[in-house]
């Protein structure tokens, strides 16, 4: 296979630094979009891309090695985040293409995207791991509403935030003339798919097309960092060998059906949304949960990505004190939390005690362990009341 490629990244017009990273190292190409306070976002996306670069530079890069490197990158980012207080909670998206024989193999986590331009039509190859995408699939939002939703940056899956990482995998037989685009959400949140398609159709040069996409996103506001990698397939040596059922293109991508595959070949399924056991210290317990909701709303407003599975609180579940993962709120009817553990303590008993009066509305914890410590304290206090 012979490919030409271009790549470009830009800080955009609103951010103080660029937390995106990318890799072009034939046969491996990737984009990553970091999240986290301080330098967390930079560190997470750089670590993830560095792991893939190792695989590419080893000279024996293979598809299985790439998936292994996703897992290795996940461990590295996760461990670094747990070891360094200022990096707690960092994570990153990672979307990679590995070219092999006459195929593109795509591995994907988060809300960066891979697109295929073929015969004048743009096809989305990946599925966003975001709360709004889940709402779209449940019929609660249209795709157009999702694009402008203030909470569109809340990820349901990211690399580096939990020990197990389900990775979506897609295989696509390539044809000469195909253009594969990898991009972070700084592009897709600024310009729509018709504009991306038109720009790609209008600029045959790979590098110039990348720069044109970045200019367009900046002209539309440049609210976020923008990164694009474009592969132009010039020649494919052999006939495609991929399985037809995963690669059938269903005509032009539309607002209603942007994903040409019925389902990405994820390994995780439901496990994908499993909450992280260990959360970062985002805020201290005395901060009311209102602060947590505010953080999510602000994060949405500023387009900063957050990870709902990282928040914990102690609250009430049908009269029992319980530990929740998430935040005690909902967006358009979608609960942002679920019960992780129900205790044998009664809420009504705990609420008789001054410090635990707010239990019903939720007491924020910095981690699952912190939530358990709060429960232990409630237990002690109830015990002390009983014996006094």
Give residues in contact with Ca ion (CB under 5 A): 33, 184-186, 224
Whole-number minimum distance, CB 33 to Ca ion, in Å?
4
Whole-number minimum distance, CB 292 to Ca ion, in Å?
22
Angle formed by the axes of helices 206-219 and 193-202, nearest 10°: 140
Whole-number minimum distance, CB 90 to Ca ion, in Å?
14
Whole-number minimum distance, CB 335 to Ca ion, in Å?
25
Decide whether 33 or 232 has the Cβ nearer to Ca ion. 33
Question: Do residues 89 and 40 touch, judged by C-beta distance below 8 A?
Answer: yes
Whole-number minimum distance, CB 184 to Ca ion, in Å?
5
Decide whether 6 or 34 has the Cβ nearer to Ca ion. 34
Decide whether 118 or 152 has the Cβ nearer to Ca ion. 152
Decide whether 30 or 375 has the Cβ nearer to Ca ion. 30
Query: Which residues, 6 or more positions from 274, have their beta carbon under 8 angstroms from its beta carbon?
Result: 162, 164, 309
Q: In residues, how long is the chain?
A: 388
Decide whether 90 or 371 has the Cβ nearer to Ca ion. 90
Whole-number minimum distance, CB 221 to Ca ion, in Å?
13
Structure tokens at 385: 């009341």
Structure tokens at 43: 């560190």
Whole-number minimum distance, CB 273 to Ca ion, in Å?
21
Decide whether 20 or 316 has the Cβ nearer to Ca ion. 20
Decide whether 36 or 186 has the Cβ nearer to Ca ion. 186
- What is the Cα–Cα distance from 365 to 376, expressed in whole angstroms? 13
Decide whether 20 or 76 has the Cβ nearer to Ca ion. 20
Whole-number minimum distance, CB 208 to Ca ion, in Å?
23
């Amino acid at each position: 296979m012979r490919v030409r490629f271009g790549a470009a990244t830009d800080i955009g017009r609103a951010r103080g630094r660029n937390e995106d990273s990318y890799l072009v190292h034939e046969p491996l190409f990737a984009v990553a979009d970091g999240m986290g306070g301080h330098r967390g976002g930079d560190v997470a996306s750089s670590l993830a891309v560095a792991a893939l670069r190792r695989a590419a530079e080893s000279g024996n890069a293979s598809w299985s090695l790439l998936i292994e490197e996703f897992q290795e990158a996940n461990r590295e980012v996760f461990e670094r985040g747990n070891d360094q207080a200022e990096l707690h909670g960092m994570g990153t998206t990672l979307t990679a293409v590995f070219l092999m024989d006459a195929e593109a193999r795509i591995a994907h986590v988060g809300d960066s995207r891979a697109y295929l331009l073929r015969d004048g039509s743009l096809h989305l190859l990946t599925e966003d791991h975001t709360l709004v995408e889940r709402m779209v699939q449940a019929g609660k939002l249209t795709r157009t509403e999702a694009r402008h939703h203030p909470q569109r940056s809340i990820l349901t899956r990211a690399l580096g935030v939990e020990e197990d990482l389900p990775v979506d995998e897609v295989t696509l037989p390539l044809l000469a003339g195909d253009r594969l685009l990898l991009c972070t959400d700084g592009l897709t949140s600024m310009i729509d798919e018709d504009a991306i398609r038109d720009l790609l159709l209008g600029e045959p040069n790979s590098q110039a097309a990348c720069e044109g996409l970045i200019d367009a996103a900046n002209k539309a506001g440049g609210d976020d960092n923008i990164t694009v990698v474009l592969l132009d397939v010039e020649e494919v040596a052999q006939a495609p060998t991929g399985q037809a059922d995963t690669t059938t293109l269903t005509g032009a991508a539309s607002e209603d059906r942007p994903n040409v595959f019925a389902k990405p070949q994820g390994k995780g399924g439901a496990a994908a949304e499993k909450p992280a056991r260990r959360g970062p210290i985002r805020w201290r317990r005395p901060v009311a949960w209102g602060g947590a909701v505010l953080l999510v709303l602000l994060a949405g407003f500023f387009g900063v990505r957050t990870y709902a599975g990282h928040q914990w609180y102690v609250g009430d579940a049908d009269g029992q004190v319980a530990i929740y993962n998430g935040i005690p709120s909902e967006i358009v009817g979608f609960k942002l939390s679920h019960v992780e553990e129900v205790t044998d303590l009664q809420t009504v008993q705990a609420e008789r005690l001054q410090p635990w009066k707010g239990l019903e509305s939720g007491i924020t914890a910095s981690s699952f362990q912190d939530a358990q410590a709060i429960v232990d304290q409630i237990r002690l206090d109830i015990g002390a009341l009983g014996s006094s």
